[in-house]
Structure 1
Amino acid sequence: MYKYTLCFIQRNDEILMLNRDKPPVLGLWNGVGGKVADGETPTACILREIAEETGLHLTPHHLLEKGTVSWSTDEGTTGGMHLFTAVIASDVPYSTPVRTLEGILDWKPIDWLLMDRNHGVGSMIPHYFRRMLQEKNGFHHRFTMENGSVCAYSYEEIPSREGTIFVQT
């Protein structure tokens, strides 16, 4: 189990994104999430982080776990996170931009997130975002980073089986 979670919350054709005031992606737009506490499941963690960072109180039925991301860096650091998506109804009121302790929340069009050479998002997001939104099954995405940039990326599908984490809970 990885020690981080990340969720992309969708409403219509937009994703609620956080422009982070803190590392590791300082100044870039990212999903919401955070560190898994001792004894906490990834699902419990992401629900807690969503509530803390956005004020939205979602339930497990809003979530779809979409796989994992792992990385290694030229500095010898390794890590990983559990990826989630969540869909909220179009009539859920959530006006942005909103200043939070973590940064600024704002709705970003999905098309904006998928634009080629979008340097406003974390460097790994363009590699997995489209697949994460469009594919039913989860994927494990692997990255090798050098000087903060992606130098290698690969992925493999995690087949969906009844009872696995890739069915809607």
Structure 2
Amino acid sequence: MYKYTICFIQRGDKILMLNRENPVWMGIWNGVGGKIEKGETPLEGVLREVKEETGIELDHAEYKGTVTWSVDDSYIGGMYAFVAQLPETYDYYTPIKTDEGILDWKDISWVLHPENLGMANLKYFLKTMLSDSHTYDHRFKYRNGEVIDFKSEILDTTIFL
């Protein structure tokens, strides 16, 4: 079991993004999420984290797979990834300063723009998560802080969350 979750909250053609204030991804835009607490399922953990970080109380998030990584052939980690849909009429005004950083709605085209250097490595997998009905393991291999390999593989959907 992995330690972390991440959720991409979509409202129409926008995604609620968090510009993280603390390391490891300080100053980088990413989805919301965090550590799974003892006794929680990944789904319970992501719903709690979304509420804590945004104040939004979701009743559902769709499991979209995992994002896993190895760093310098020594450390291996991963997180469970989810997508949640809000109605376009859902009122949530941004930007908002939180303990975690700054929340803001960003156009999906801006998030996925190839020249956007302020994003976590979402350009590798977010489009697939938003548009493909399959669940995937998106695997990164890092060396000296750089992505040296990335692969996606369809996961067995019998995982229980």
TM-score range for the pair, normalised by the shorter chain length: over 0.9
For residues 95-130 of structure 1, the C-alpha deviation after alignment (integer angstroms, 9 at most, x for no partner) is: 0000000000000000011111311101x2110111
RMSD (Å) for aligned C-alpha atoms: 1.5
Identity of aligned residues (%): 48
Query: What displacement does 1:49 show?
Result: 0.3
Q: Letter of the aligned partner of 2:94 in structure 1?
A: T
Normalising by structure 1, report the TM-score.
0.91
Q: Is residue 32 of structure 1 aligned with residue 29 of structure 2?
A: no
Normalising by structure 2, report the TM-score.
0.95
Q: Is residue 71 of structure 1 aligned with residue 54 of structure 2?
A: no
How many angstroms apart in 2 are the aligned matches of 1:73 and 1:97?
Answer: 33
Residues 65 and 165, structure 1, Cα contact 8 Å, conserved in 2:
no
Q: How do 1:15-164 and structure 2 match up within 5 A?
A: 15-60=15-60, 63-74=61-72, 76-122=74-120, 124-160=121-157, 164=158
Query: What displacement does 1:137 show?
Result: 0.8
How many angstroms apart in 1 are the aligned matches of 2:8 and 2:30?
Answer: 8
For residues 37-91 of structure 1, the C-alpha deviation after alignment (integer angstroms, 9 at most, x for no partner) is: 111100000000000000001112xx11000011011172210000000000111
How many angstroms apart in 2 are the aligned matches of 1:105 and 1:148?
Answer: 25
How many angstroms apart in 1 are the aligned matches of 2:115 and 2:72?
Answer: 23
Q: Letter of the aligned partner of 1:87 in structure 2?
A: Q
Find runs of 4+ consecutive structure 1 residues off by over 2 angstroms. Answer: none
Residues 137 and 159, structure 1, Cα contact 8 Å, conserved in 2:
no
Number of residue pairs matched?
161
